[in-house]
Structure 1
Amino acid sequence: MRIRKASALAAAVFALSLAATACGSDDESGDGGSESSGGSGDGGGGEELRIGIKFDQPGIGLENSEGEYSGFDVDVATYIAGEMGVAPEDIEWVEAPSADRETMLQSGDVDFIVASYSINPERMELVDFAGPYFLAHQDLLVRSDAEVSEDAINEMTLCTVAGSTSAQNVQDSIAPDAATQEFPTYSECVPAVQQGTIDALTTDDSILAGYAAQDEYEGQFKLAGFDLSDEYYGVGVPKGETELVDEINTALQKMIDDGSWEQAVESNFGPANYDYEDAPKVGDLSVVEE
C-alpha cells in the first residue's frame, strides 16, 4: 500500500539526513533530503492513495465532463482516505469496471476499491473485503406511470447488459416470460426506458436510484419495490491485507456513527425517494458466506 511505502521512504530519508548531520555537515542537508523524497508521494508528510471507483454510475461513482467525481462510493472512499491521513487532492481515482476489479487488486493497480462491489464467496476467494458498508437489493426501474406487478413484468421487455445476470434473475424468480434486450451499458438503458423502447431496467436498487435522482430525469422514474436479492457492498482490498481491512473498517464505523454515512446516502439517493436499508454491521461477513 502506498501509504506504508511512502512512510517507510520518509523514515529512510530522515535516517540518512541524521547520518549526514553526524558527519559534521554545516549545510541544510536535512531539508535537501525532504525535497528529494517528494516525488515518492511523501512530499513533506502527505500520502497518496489510488482508489478504484465506477466512473459511469450516477449516485454511486460518476466522472463528469470536467474530470470531477461524485457519488456515494466516492463519499465513502474520501471519508476512509481522510481517516487514513490522505487529503482529497492526494487521491488518484482509477476506473474499476466490474469485470476487472479482482485483477486490479491482485496486480496492485489500486490500493483498494469502492465500486458497488458486492461481497460474495467467489470473490472472497480472490480478494479480501472491509465492510459491508451498504445493503442493496436487485430491483426494477420503470417509468413513474407504469403499473408494476409480477404478472405485468411477464409482459415487459427488460434491459440487460453483457455480463450481467440481473435480467435472468428476474426471469428465474418472478417473471419467466419476460423478454430481454441487450444494451452496451446501463446508462444507455435509462433513456430507452424513458422513451418506452424497453419497459424496465433491472440491477441494484442503489444504482437505479442514482439514475432516477439525476436532474434530467426528475419525477420520470420509480423503483418497482421488488427485493430480488441482498447485495452487501464491501471495500475490496488485496488478499492478505488484514491490517488494511481493520483500518478501513474502523473508518467505516466512524462514518456511520458520526452521521456522515446517512448524509451521504441522502445527498446521493434522496431525490429518488429511495427507501434504503440501515447501515449493515461493519466487519460481519457472515451475511454473505454460504
Structure 2
Amino acid sequence: MKVLKAGAAVATAVVLALTATACGGGDKKDGAGDTGASGGTKSDKIAIGIKFDQPGLGLKTPDGKFEGFDVDVATYVAKELGYQPDQIEWKQAVSAERENLISNGDVKFIAATYSINDKRKAKVDFAGPYFLAHQDLLVRADDSSITKVEDLNKKKLCSVTGSTSAQNVKKDLAPEADLQQLPGYSECLTGLENKAVDALTTDDSILAGYAAQEKNKGKFKLVGLKMSNENYGIGLKKGDKELQTKINTALKKMVADGSWDAAVKKNLGPANYKNEPAPQITEGS
C-alpha cells in the first residue's frame, strides 16, 4: 500500500507540473522585450513611451485615455508594425528618463517631443524626423507689444524650472528679460492669463497644444518666431536597424496618405498653428 501511495503521489506531482507548464509557458510578457519589430499576434502587446502632460501632443485625460499628435503618430506606426490600438501599452516618458526607458527595454520606441541631437544619439537611435518645431513665444491674444524676441527686455518671461529654452533667451537674445521659472507650463499659462507674466517660451508645438485646449481658445497667440530648430524623432534601441527602417517606412506612408497632415490639424490647428511641412527622413539613411 505504501508503494502504491508513493506512486500515486509522484503521478499527481507530474500532472500538476505539466498543467502549470501548459498554463504559463505560452504567456507573453506585456512589455517591449517580447514584441518583434515585424509586429505580433493578437495576444502580443507593444510598449510605447509618450508624454502624459502635453496637451495636443501627448496627454493622458482624466478618463484614462490618451490623445495628441505624438499619440496619433505612434498609433499609426504601431499599426504598420502589426499592432492594433488595444495592443498598445502607453508608458510615461519623462524627458530625463527617455534614454533609460529605451536602453532598459521598458519600451519599444518613444514618441514624446524627442528632439534629435548628437548627445542623445550617442545613447539611442532615432527614426524620422517626423516633425519640425521651433522655439517660440506665447503671449496674450490682445498683446501687440511683443513681436520680436528683443521686446522681452524689461518684461517677465516664464518657462518651466530647468528649461534650456528660457535660458537661451535670457543669455543670448533678451538679457534684460525678467525670467520667471515655475514648476509647469500650466502655472505659466495661469500667470500669462492673469498678467503676472508677459510671455511663455518653449517649442511652438507645445505652446500650440496648450493654446488649443478648449478652456484656452481665444486667450493666447503664438508670436511666430523661429528661435531654434527642433526635429522630433522616434527614439529606439541603439543598433536596431530593422525597427528603424520599418518606422521610417511607416512615417513616409503616414505623410503620403494624408494622415500626418490630418493629425496636425486635429491636434494643433485650433491654435492657428502654422506648422512646417513634414520633414525629410534623415535618420538611418
Shorter-chain TM-score bucket reads 0.7 to 0.9
How far apart, CA to CA, are the structure 2 residues paired with 1:38 and 1:84? Answer: 21
Q: Aligned to 2:83, what secondary structure does the other structure show?
A: coil
Aligned residue in 1 for 2:87 = 90
Q: Is the 8 A contact 2:241 2:284 kept in 1?
A: no
Summarize deviations over 1:248-278 as a string: whole Å, max 9, x none: 1011010000000000000000100001000
Partner of 1:113: 110
Show the 5 A alignment for 1:85-234.
85-147=82-144, 148-150=146-148, 151-234=150-233
Q: Which TM-score applies when normalising by structure 2?
A: 0.85
Task: Tell whether 2:35 aligns with 1:37.
Answer: no
The code of the aligned residue for 1:87 comes to: Q
1:281 aligned onto 2:280: yes
User: Normalising by the residue count of structure 1, what TM-score does the alignment of the two structures yield?
Assistant: 0.83
* Whole-angstrom distance in 2 between the partners of 1:227 and 1:241: 33
Identity %: 54
Specify the alignment match of 1:22 in structure 2: none
The answer to whether the Cα contact below 8 Å between 2:127 and 2:283 also exists between their aligned partners in 1 is no
Distance 1:82 1:179, change over 3 A: same
Matched position secondary structure for 1:208: helix
- Bigger CA drift: 173-182 or 33-42? 33-42
SS of the equivalent of 2:171 reads helix
Separation (CA, whole Å) in 1 of partners of 2:68 and 2:130: 14
Contact 1:51 1:111 in 2 (8 A): yes
1:220-253 per-position Cα deviation (integer Å, ceiling 9, x unaligned): 0000111000000000001111111111101101
Superposed displacement of residue 195, structure 1:
1.1
| Number of aligned residues | 256
Structure 1 211/129 Cα, relative in aligned 2: closer, same or farther at 3 Å? same
Which 10-residue stretch deviates more, 263-272 or 102-111? 102-111
Which moves more between the two structures, 191-200 or 214-223? 191-200
Amino acid at match of 2:62: S
Secondary structure of the 1:197 match is coil
For residue 163 of structure 1, report the CA deviation from its aligned partner.
2.4
Q: For 1:96, give the aligned amino acid.
A: A
- Partner of 1:155: helix, strand, or coil? coil
Aligned to 1:71: 68
Q: 1:133 is paired with a residue of what secondary structure?
A: strand
Matching residue's letter, 1:163: G
